């Protein structure tokens, strides 16, 4: 007998408010792009690199226009997996480098562990970068039923070789199928396509009637490959971009096109299994693009991605480093096709996804359950984001409501760019279009200086997301409030890094493979 319509509606709303029942828990596909720039996807209003599959999902879901992550890879991934700010984990100071014995703290229960406890089948493809010295640090020891990917920060797209110029003894081959090294088996295959094929094979063979699926796809794209051949993409992708004259930017476009195709193929695979209607797809970058080689005075990274019109790059606390391209797609969203300007942080996904799975999120975390804000358009439960509190580099940043304060750190030393960097070759007006998620920034007033090494800078990033105009002199009370908040966070921070390689990890001792050694 059919239930009355009003009763069905009550059940539906309750599911969104408090998670789903066992028979209706959604599949979850969480996709992270590496070093993807704000201006490297076309749904933000610049069509130099068309991303039709990404755009289609974003524009028929909810675009998250104020979604924050950390400025670097390991801290963002640590926050995603734990629901905590990196300062709680001792991971705010940098990334885990090749050969270091440290990892994401082993006493932390991770997102896939919670989802597995809730009855999910959990699988990972791509970049781990949260520690690999011991088997107990690896994905299959931390909640994933299976893992296919690489354990460190990057690899060559065709050879799975990490070349680390700073300390070559610790670079090497890095591609794994669970605990088995398989790098040499796939030499010559383009990694974006390989990860996609493995993920789609899982979708094809998964028993959706038995268990819901959690799939974490952490792509290499659009991260650089190595210093000698940094940008890598097959001709079948780069040939789509004859309108881009600069070879580095053209190859970057090819890398992003492969990423875009990947999303389309994953959606098709879910549709073929009749699972798309009950699936939530989350897409985000781990941080902004690192910018062209000439802007970076460290070795590496560099790419030809761009965060324009946002300020700064990866490794900085400017919006270009930490405000990420992000969206959520699902048939379960009410009133899709929206742009949300509510404040979200990558730590919010742990409690949100656990709730959707019918589980109970831990209490001592920094993340918030943001599902009703995304699915129903309600205000975000979050009005504050700690962007950085790093006492080693004396680098601090926080957003509270529309205000963002930034002080000190790498962004002030001159070694990392803090300007505004359009695509190489300049901005072409013919590629600009007005999309709902396009950012509009005021004129830059050069009479209001910002010297973050010497004193705090304050911005209204709702009206000035490009951080053009320092308004600290107009709001001394806000400056004091945010400095006080940063002091509280800093006082509770766990000491972080720096991490140094263990001589026992040298790859010459392990047949050239970046393998667990303890």
- The residue ranking higher by pLDDT, 354 or 21, is 354
Is the bond into 301 cis (omega within 30 degrees of 0)?
yes
> Does residue 401 have an active-site annotation?
no
Distance of CA 116 to the CA centre of its chain: 22
Tell me if 49 sits within 8 A of 256, measured CB to CB: yes
The yes-or-no verdict on residue 69 having pLDDT over 50 is yes
- Pairing mode, strands 62-64 and 326-330: antiparallel
Which one is catalytic: 44, 67, 123, 129?
Answer: 129
Which one is catalytic: 44, 67, 73, 345?
Answer: 73
The domains found in the chain, sorted by start residue, are 25-382+502-510 (3.40.720.10), 387-491 (3.30.1120)
- The residue ranking higher by pLDDT, 244 or 449, is 244
Q: Once rounded to an integer, what is the mean pLDDT over residues 183-208?
A: 97
Q: pLDDT tens-digit profile of 326-345? A: 999 999 999 999 999 999 99
| Range in 346-360, 411-425, 453-467 with the lowest mean pLDDT | 411-425
The yes-or-no verdict on residue 13 having pLDDT over 50 is no
SS3 of 353-421: the string is HHHHCCCCCCCCCCCCCCHHHHHHCCCCCCCEEEEEEECCCCEEEEEECCEEEEEECHHHCCCCCCCEC
Note the pLDDT of residue 292: 64
Tell me if 70 sits within 8 A of 317, measured CB to CB: no
The yes-or-no verdict on residue 472 having pLDDT over 90 is yes
- The residue ranking higher by pLDDT, 391 or 139, is 139
The yes-or-no verdict on residue 176 having pLDDT over 80 is yes
Across the chain, mean pLDDT equals 91
> Does residue 129 have an active-site annotation?
yes
The yes-or-no verdict on residue 293 having pLDDT over 70 is no
């Amino acid at each position: 007998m059919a239930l009355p319509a009003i009763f069905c509606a009550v059940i539906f709303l309750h599911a969104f408010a408090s998670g789903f029942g066992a028979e209706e828990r959604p599949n979850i596909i969480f996709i992270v792009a590496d070093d993807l720039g704000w201006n490297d996807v076309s749904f933000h209003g610049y069509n130099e690199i068309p991303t039709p599959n990404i755009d289609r999902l974003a524009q028929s879901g909810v675009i998250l226009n104020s979604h924050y992550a950390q400025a670097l890879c390991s801290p963002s991934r640590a926050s995603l997996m734990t629901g905590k700010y990196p300062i709680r984990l001792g991971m705010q100071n940098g990334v885990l480098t090749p050969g270091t014995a440290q990892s994401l703290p082993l006493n932390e229960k991770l997102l896939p562990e919670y989802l597995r406890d809730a009855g999910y089948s959990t699988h990972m493809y791509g970049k781990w970068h949260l520690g690999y010295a011991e088997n107990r640090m690896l994905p299959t020891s931390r909640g994933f039923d299976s893992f296919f990917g690489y354990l460190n920060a990057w690899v060559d797209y065709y050879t799975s070789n990490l070349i680390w110029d700073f300390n070559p003894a610790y670079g090497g081959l890095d591609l794994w199928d669970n605990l088995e090294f398989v790098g040499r088996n796939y030499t010559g295959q383009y990694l974006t396509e390989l990860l996609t094929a493995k993920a789609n094979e899982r979708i094809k063979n998964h028993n959706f009637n038995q268990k819901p699926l959690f799939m974490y796809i952490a792509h290499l794209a659009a991260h650089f490959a190595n210093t000698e051949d940094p940008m890598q993409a097959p001709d079948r992708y780069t040939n789509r971009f004859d309108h881009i004259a600069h070879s580095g930017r053209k190859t970057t476009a090819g890398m992003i096109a492969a990423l875009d195709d990947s999303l389309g193929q994953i959606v098709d695979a879910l549709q073929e299994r009749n699972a798309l209607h009950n699936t939530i797809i989350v897409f985000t970058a781990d941080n902004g693009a690192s910018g062209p080689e000439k802007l970076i005075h460290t070795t590496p990274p560099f790419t030809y991605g761009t965060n324009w019109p946002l300020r700064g790059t990866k490794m900085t606390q400017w919006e270009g480093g930490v405000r990420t391209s992000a969206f959520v797609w699902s048939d379960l969203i009410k009133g899709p096709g929206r742009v949300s300007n509510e404040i979200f942080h990558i730590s919010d996904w742990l409690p949100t996804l656990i709730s959707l799975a019918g589980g109970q999120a831990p209490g001592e975390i920094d993340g918030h359950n943001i599902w009703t804000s995304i699915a129903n358009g309600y205000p975000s439960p979050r009005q504050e984001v700690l962007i950085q509190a790093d006492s080693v580099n004396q680098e601090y940043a926080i957003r509270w409501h529309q205000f963002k304060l930034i002080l000190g750190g790498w962004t002030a030393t001159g070694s990392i760019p803090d300007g505004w960097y359009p695509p190489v070759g300049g901005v072409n007006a013919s590629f600009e279009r007005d999309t709902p998620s396009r950012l509009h920034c005021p004129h830059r007033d050069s009479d209001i200086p910002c010297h973050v090494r010497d004193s705090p800078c304050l911005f209204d990033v709702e009206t000035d997301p490009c951080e053009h105009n320092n308004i600290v002199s107009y709001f001394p009370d806000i400056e004091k409030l945010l400095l006080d908040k940063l002091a509280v966070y800093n006082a509770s921070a766990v000491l972080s890094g720096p991490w140094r390689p263990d001589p026992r990890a040298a790859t010459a001792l392990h047949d050239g493979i970046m393998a667990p050694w303890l």
